[in-house]
Amino acid sequence: MTLVISRLITGKWPRFYKGLIRPTITMAMVQTVLQYFFFYMGLTIVSGAAGVLLSSTGTFFAVIIAVIIGMEAMTGKKFAGIICGLAGVIVLNLSPDLQLIFRWNGEFFVLLSALFYALLNILVKHFSKKHEPIALTGFQFILGGTILTLIGIAGGGRLMWPGFAKNLVLVYLMFVAAIGYGLWSMLLKKYDTSKVVIFNALTPVFGAIFSWLILGEDIWRWNTLVSLLLIALGITLINWKQRNRYHNPPVL
């Protein structure tokens, strides 16, 4: 599906060549295999709302990695944003008796997924300088999906077809991966990373709402709402850029 989208956008079918081998393998391992594996394994333990909130911390990891490798400089707003995000994670994992709940195969797995997601954004920005991003996304999905399928089969998993309605969910997930990641990689190539990542602030909001509407989860707990506000505030602070009022002088 992603390769077809690349054909529609660029006007020509994607061609796999020697220079794509290294980027395809790298992105397949980071984006599809590691990110998907830890995220969906973690979701078997944590709630949907908590999973979305924890995964949104990938923005903070992206900033930390960018600072470490010298892509961006640390500022006061970025530091404050990271503190807010980490505080949101801690508040989210507080139990009703204020004990911290952090399971290695639950919350820790989802945070690992967020870490790999952060690394993915930097890799897409790097590889898209030389390669067509949507085509690269499609090729890495093929390789990464094959590896995940083999892991699932080795673990005793089987692909079942339980009925038309549930198959629509599978098609929807395919559509999200193809359209979502394809367009995301295209945006990362064209715009600054911070201008794209800012929209991650909406992820925990929609995640909490849909977990309440579809899954019937109780999101109206104080720690969920406070964590939602802290993480959204942290993401906003990291990506906030104050306009220079003298940049465009008024026309008299």
Classify the C-alpha dihedral 139-142-148-151 as positive or negative.
negative
Q: How many CB atoms lie within 10 A of CB 178?
A: 20
Q: Cα–Cα distance between 32 and 175 in angstroms, integer?
A: 15
The pLDDT assigned to 245 comes to 47
DSSP state of 201: G
Given the structure tokens 């909130």, which residue do they identify?
Answer: 53
Residue 216 neighbours by CB under 8 Å, 6+ apart: none
Name the strand (E) or helix (H) holding 110: helix 107-127
pTM here? Answer: 0.70
The residue assigned the tokens 């999200």 is: 176
- For residue 6, the model assigns a pLDDT of 84
User: Residue 71: how many CB atoms within 10 A of its CB?
Assistant: 14
Structure tokens at 159: 């692909």
Find the DSSP H helices in 128-239: 133-154, 164-175, 181-190, 193-197, 203-213, 222-239
Mean pLDDT of residues grouped by 10 in the chain (252 residues)? 85 88 93 90 82 75 78 79 79 63 82 87 83 88 93 86 79 84 78 66 72 78 79 77 50 42
Q: Are 201 and 235 in contact (CB under 8 A)?
A: yes
Confidence (pLDDT) at 198: 61
Q: What is the pLDDT of residue 241?
A: 66
Beta bridge partners of 100: 94
